[in-house]
């Protein structure tokens, strides 16, 4: 018998959404798995992406074939802040073969996981404001 998860409280929903709602100049990138948005936050990924766009942010939804996360994920990012970070760390990105443009970078990190000892990992941590 499958057990149903209890409905999350409003503070729990807000806490989970912070990964996306905190995105801005000081936290260029955030993401949530699609199942978390639907099942825990109880919103549609489309509505969350629309909210991000209304705040001047970019949103990219990746399905299971484009994303290393089993359910797929929604990434929200501040293009200008991310572009600045990527430009500042262009040497590391170029050496690792990662794209320097924000859209390409987000698509790449959605698809590929880097171990903590990989040189590009520090750039990814900075993009997430060290919150993953």
Each residue's pLDDT tens digit in the chain (132 positions)? 556 666 778 888 888 889 899 999 999 999 999 999 999 999 999 999 999 999 999 999 999 999 999 999 999 999 999 999 999 999 999 999 999 999 999 999 999 999 999 999 999 999 999 854
Instruction: Concatenate the DSSP letters of all residues of 15-32 into one string.
Output: HHHHHHHT-BTTB-EEEE
3-state DSSP helix/strand/coil % of the chain, to nearest 5: 50, 15, 40
| Cβ(34)–Cβ(71) below 8 Å | yes
In this prediction, residue 81 carries a pLDDT of: 98
Tokens of 124: 């990814």
Task: Name the phi and psi angles at 119, rounded to 5.
Answer: -55, -30
In this prediction, residue 56 carries a pLDDT of: 97
In this prediction, residue 3 carries a pLDDT of: 60
Please give the biggest Cα pair distance in the chain.
53
Cβ neighbours of residue 82 closer than 8 Å, sequence gap 6 or more: 28, 29, 102, 105, 106, 127
CA-to-CA distance for 14 and 21, rounded, in angstroms?
A: 9
In this prediction, residue 67 carries a pLDDT of: 95
In this prediction, residue 131 carries a pLDDT of: 53
């Amino acid at each position: 018998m499958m057990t149903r998860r209890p409905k999350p409280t409003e503070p729990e929903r807000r806490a989970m959404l912070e990964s996306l709602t905190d995105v801005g100049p000081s936290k260029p990138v955030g993401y949530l798995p699609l199942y978390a948005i639907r099942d825990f936050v109880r919103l549609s990924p489309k509505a969350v992406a629309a909210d991000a766009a209304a705040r001047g942010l970019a949103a990219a939804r990746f399905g299971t074939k484009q994303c290393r996360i089993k359910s797929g994920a929604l990434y929200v990012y501040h293009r200008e802040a991310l572009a600045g970070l990527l430009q500042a760390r262009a040497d590391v990105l170029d050496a690792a073969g990662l794209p320097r443009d924000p859209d390409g970078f987000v698509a790449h990190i959605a698809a590929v996981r880097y171990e903590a000892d990989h040189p590009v990992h520090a750039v990814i941590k900075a993009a997430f404001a060290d919150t993953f």
